[in-house]
Amino acid sequence: QPCWREYLTTRIEQNMVVNCTCPISECRARPTTAFIYSIVSSQEIIAKYEKALLRCYVECCSNLTWCTNPQGCDQILLKDGLGYGAACSKCSWISCFNCNFPEAHYPASCSHMSRMTCAKCNHGFCWRCLKPWRPNHKDYYNCSAMVSKAAWQEKRFQDYNERCTFHHHAREFATGLRNSISSIREMPKIRNLTFVLDACKVLEQARKVLAYSCVYSYYNQDTESMDIVKQQTESLELLTNAL
């Protein structure tokens, strides 16, 4: 029994207990949960084992996922088949279920967000003509496109990037404001501030939509639809600033 206890404890601490087998090389039997409970007495180790079982279960279920809040959250979410889902009941974070981006990014599509992270794959391209740098386009100064086009493209990217960054910072301000109000709300003789908290949540959501609208607008080439998007975005931004 002491040998089994040491073996199982080690496997649990190394996060390798779910698929572990009998330590005898010829034996492929796996220890059952009841057997592990009867051998391991440490409540701390048992808690780690139960967390490992939970992780394995979530990873095996295609309709379940963990909350992707980068600040950390252990809530399990039920996928609804959409690119965005309901807010996490624990931390209010809204995750994207279709890609690896940490949060829902409507109206920008998942492909838009992937293109934003293309630097991770070391893809090289020419800012002048936007064609791949290799295998043929190796010399920047031999590019056939006009320099003015490159300058326009770069200026356009900078404009959208600055607007997107501004809305993200403004969203962080709204989050900080909501947290501050939540703390003073607990103080005695403070009137009900629920309406202010609700306003902060709306402000956070609006800033997020405005930020990802910049991404959507940057990649969208449909001039007719972009006129409508521009009008709606300007209206939302005006109302958000007023709020």
Query: Does the pLDDT at position 202 exceed 90?
Result: yes
Which one of 39-43, 59-63, 69-73, 102-106 scores highest in mean pLDDT?
39-43
Query: Does the pLDDT at position 211 exceed 70?
Result: yes
The confidence score (pLDDT) of residue 142 equals 45
Q: What is the pLDDT of residues 221-232, one digit of tens each?
A: 777 778 888 888
- pLDDT tier at 52 (50, 70, 90 boundaries)? confident
* CA–CA distance, 100 with 110 (Å, rounded to integer): 9
- pLDDT tier at 210 (50, 70, 90 boundaries)? very high
Ranges of beta strands (E only) in the chain are: 64-66, 76-78
Q: What is the pLDDT of residues 111-145, one digit of tens each?
A: 666 543 344 455 555 544 555 555 554 444 344 54
* Annotated domain spans of the chain: 1-58, 61-104, 112-242
DSSP state of 191: P
- pLDDT tier at 240 (50, 70, 90 boundaries)? very high
Please state, for a pLDDT cut of 90, what percent of the chain lies above it.
Answer: 12
* CA–CA distance, 173 with 74 (Å, rounded to integer): 25
Please state, for a pLDDT cut of 70, what percent of the chain lies above it.
Answer: 78
Q: What is the reported pTM?
A: 0.53
Nearest one of 67, 66, 95, 65 to 83, comparing CA atoms: 95
- pLDDT tier at 107 (50, 70, 90 boundaries)? confident
Residue 216: partners with Cβ closer than 8 Å, 6 or more residues away:
107, 108, 109, 112, 229
The confidence score (pLDDT) of residue 115 equals 46
